Amino acid sequence: MRSLFISIIFTVLGSLFFIGWGLDKLVEYSTEDKVTETQGTTVYRHLLDGLSSELSSLNRSQLSDKVEHFKQNYQINTSLASSKKIALPSSLVAELKQQGGLLLASSTNQYLLKNIANHPDFLLRIELPVETAEDNNFNFILTLILYVSICGILILWLIPLTRRLYLLNNAAAKIGSGQLDARIASSKLSYIKVLEQSFNTMASKIEKLVADNKILARSLSHDIRTPMACLRFGIEAALDSKSIEKKNSYLTRMDNELTRMEEMTSLFLDYASMERQALNLKKQPTNVLALITSAMTDCQVLAKQKNIEISIIHSDDSFSYRLDYHWCYRAIVNLISNAIGYAENQVKIQLKVDQNSMTITVADDGKGISEDKLDIIFSPFVKLDADRTREQGHFGLGLAICSKVMDWHQGSISVDNGTQLCGANFTLKFPLD
C-alpha cells in the first residue's frame, strides 16, 4: 500500500508543480515590459508636472543644473533626455504634452517622460522606484502549507481505500493458503463495495466447488471399490472355473458391474461439470404449465408401475416465465420421480403465482423426511433410504442437481412435511422481477 500512497501523492504534487510553474511562466510572459499603473505612479505624475513647469521658466544653460538640484535635494532620479533620440509613435508623442506625462517601461523599471515648455529639444525623465518585492519566505511558507494540506487530504482519503485493499489482499492470501471460508466484512466507508461483493461471491463459489469436488472424489473412490472387487473376484472365478456355463455366468455379472461403474462415473462427471453448464444457460420465456405437464407425462410410466396417481393444481394455464427449459425440466422430473418412489397412493403438483414469486410444489403421501435430515437432503451423494442402493441406480444426486438449478435461476428449493399431503413437500420458488 505504500507504493499506492507514494504514486498518488507524487502524481498530485507533480501535477500541481508543473501547472503552477506553467501559470507563473504565462503570467511572467504576459506582463513582461507592460506598463502597470499604481497609486505611486499618480503621485509621480503630479510631481513631474510641477518640475516640468519650473524648468520651463529657466534658460537652456540652467536646465542641467536644476535637474541635478532636483536629484540631490529631493532624492528623485531625474534626468534630461533628448527628444530627437526618442522615437515614439505619433499617438504617444501627444501624451508628452498632456498632464502627467507619458508612462513607459524598460526591461528594468518604469519611467515618466514629459516635454518642457519653451525647450522643445529636451524631455524631463523621472525613473520610478522599483516596488518592494513581497516576502519570499512568506510565499514559500504559504506554498508549503498548501502542499502539506493537499497531502493530508489525500492521505485521509486513501486510508479507507488502502485498508479495504489490504483486507482484500489478506483474504485472497488466506484463500490461496487453503482457508476457503475467508471473506471480507462489508463496510459503509468502503469505496470498493462492488469489488468486495464480487470477491465474496467468487470465494463462495470456489469454496462450494472445492467442497463438491472433495465429496465427489470421496464418494467415487468409496463406491468404485465394490465393483472393482467384484470384477477382480469374477475374473479369478472365471479363470478357475472349468464349466463354460459358470464362466458365462461370471462374465455376465462382470458386465453388469461394468455397466453400473459406467453409469456411476458418467453421473458423477456430469455433476462435476455442472458449474460449467451455468455459463451456457438458455433462458427464454416458457409456458410453465406445459413444462410441468411434459414432466408428468414422462413420469407416468413409473407411476403406473407403482399404482401412483399424479394430479396437478394450477390457477393460470398461460403463465410464462423466463427459464432454461432443459435444466428446469430435469429438476421437476427429479422431484416427481422421487415423490413416486416414496408415495403410497398419490403425488400432487401445485403451480402458484403471486406478486413476488412463482412456486412449484411437489408433494407425496409417503412417510416424509425426518426432521434431523432436512438440512442435509440437498447435499450431493446423500441418500436417506438405505433400500435405494447405488446398484439400483440411486446415487444421491437428484436433489443436489435441483438445488444447483435453482441457484442458477436466483431461486430456492425447500422441503417440509405434511403441507399438501402427509409426506414430503418440495417447493421450487422462482423470483418475479
> pLDDT tens across 115-161, in order?
888 888 888 888 888 755 455 677 778 777 877 787 787 788 778 88
- The residue ranges of the chain whose pLDDT is under 50 are 133, 386, 388-393
CB 258 within 8 A of CB 231: yes
Question: Given this model, what pLDDT does residue 332 score?
Answer: 93
Question: Given this model, what pLDDT does residue 322 score?
Answer: 92
> From residue 273, how far is each of 107, 205, 212, 270, 411 by CA, in Å?
83, 14, 11, 5, 21
Distance CA 149, CA 151 (A): 5
Question: Given this model, what pLDDT does residue 395 score?
Answer: 60
CB 100 within 8 A of CB 44: no
Residue 128, φ and ψ in degrees, nearest 5: -80, 135
Question: Given this model, what pLDDT does residue 87 score?
Answer: 79
> From residue 295, how far is each of 98, 300, 349, 363 by CA, in Å?
108, 9, 11, 15
Question: Given this model, what pLDDT does residue 392 score?
Answer: 46
Residue 320, C-alpha cell as written in the block: 410464462
Q: How crowded is residue 349: how many other Cβ atoms within 10 Å of its Cβ? A: 22
Question: Given this model, what pLDDT does residue 30 score?
Answer: 56
Which residue pairs from 392-398 have beta carbons closer than 8 angstroms and sit at least 24 positions apart in sequence? 393/260, 393/263, 395/219, 395/223, 395/264, 395/267, 395/268, 397/267, 397/268, 397/271, 398/334, 398/337, 398/338
> From residue 241, how far is each of 219, 252, 256 by CA, in Å?
34, 14, 19
Q: How do 424-431 and 119-127 pair as beta strands?
A: unpaired
Question: Given this model, what pLDDT does residue 132 score?
Answer: 54
Torsion of CA 333, 336, 337, 340, to 10 degrees: -170
Q: What is the CATH number of domain 39-127?
A: 3.30.450
Q: How many helices (H) and strands (E) does the chain have?
A: 12, 11
What residue spans define the domains of the chain? 39-127, 224-272, 281-431
Q: What is the CATH number of domain 281-431?
A: 3.30.565.10
HEC secondary structure over 175-199:
HHCCCCCCCCCCCCCCCCHHHHHHH
CB 399 within 8 A of CB 270: no
